[in-house]
Amino acid sequence: MVSKLIIDFKPVSPKHGDLFCGKNPVEIAKHLEKKGVLGLSVVTKSQHFGGSLELLRSITKAVKLPVLRKDFIENEDDLYQTLDCGAKGILLVCSVSKNIEKLHQKAKDIGLRPVVEVHTKEEMSFAKNIGAKIILINNKDITVLEKDSGTVDLTLKLIPLAPKDAFIISASGILNHEDTERAISAGANAVLVGTAFWQGKFQI
């Protein structure tokens, strides 16, 4: 099951506060690579989440794992910036980012893997219509900074609506290995775990 895990590097949770608590993210990234996780994601948005491009660069330089940049991407410059930082993927959030269809195509054109984040049936339909091949189901609502009590139940609800050939990631609200197994059994190809891992509640 470790090979289906993506660990999220988000310094601050708007709901839970400081997550790193003095831990060295680069050393932890190296440790996770040795453990055999599928990949890493790094939050670069500073406001509310404490992320930075410096954090992204330091982690992409330290590991060979594919790294996904998580932010509220707004334009093509953000895409090139992401490439420059060494990330392999870019998150495009349906409820936040504008011009997603254009950014989705541009990302593919320049060699980035676009990951489309959805939270509703309507957003899943949109992702399907633009031909998204990697879809992240956010079990929580990013428009309220994920302060809601979303659970893996949303993944179970939306997966049947996903494109059959898409790689599906279940993210947020993954609290334990039981949640992971439920998501995978429902058809998710991977799960993204953040807060529970940093709080020591999700052991790898």
pTM over 0.85: yes
Supply the pLDDT for residue 163: 96
Over the chain (204 residues), the average pLDDT of each successive run of 10 is: 95 89 96 98 94 98 98 96 98 92 98 97 97 97 70 96 97 94 97 94 89
Supply the pLDDT for residue 142: 79
Supply the pLDDT for residue 51: 96
Q: For 178, phi and psi rounded to 5 degrees?
A: -65, -40
Domains of the chain, each with CATH number or no CATH: 2-198 (3.20.20.70)
Supply the pLDDT for residue 7: 98
